[in-house]
Amino acid sequence: MIEPSSGAGAGLTRVYLISFASVWDAVLDHIASKRRWELVQADEEVGEIWATRATGLRGKNKNDVRVRVSLDHNGLTQVTATATATMKPRPEHSARLVKAFLANLDRRVSA
């Protein structure tokens, strides 16, 4: 990772010096390896991954997570992640979810 952008937390961006394919695969690996995460749709042509993340004690509350992977104007791989609660809107929880997701992605792509 070379540059975190500023943001409100529920929509944050990272820019990486590694290939689109490596970052794309790391995002999909994260979703597949984490409990309570479910892949909804992945479209590599468009560069969007949609997933849900169950929250709460029984996992009934869900966050819709959108991850956009693209190349920026310098040819670097850019990842923008957003999360939205589907039942009980809690922006602070969505912000923590996105920050944790991106921190995990940072570790995956730097390993």
Determine contact, residues 86/62, Cβ cutoff 8 Å.
yes
Q: What is the 3-state secondary structure (H, E, C) of 15-33?
A: EECCCHHHHHHHHHHHHHH
pLDDT value at 105 more than 50: yes
pLDDT value at 7 more than 70: no
**Residue 75's CATH number:** 3.30.530.50
Q: 10 Å Cβ neighbour count for 83?
A: 27
Would the pTM count as exceeding 0.75?
yes
Domain that holds residue 59: 3-110
- Could you give the percent of the chain with pLDDT greater than 90? 66
Question: Considering the chain, what is the average pLDDT of its residues?
Answer: 87
Nearest residue to 82 (alpha-carbon basis) of 14, 29, 1? 14
Tens of pLDDT, residue by residue over 63-96, are 899 999 999 999 999 999 999 888 776 677 788 8
Tokens of 11: 């929509």
Q: Count of domains in the chain?
A: 1
Amino acid at 49: I
pLDDT value at 8 more than 60: no
Say which residue, 90 or 97, is predicted with more confidence: 97
The span from the CA of 64 to the CA of 43, in Å, is: 16
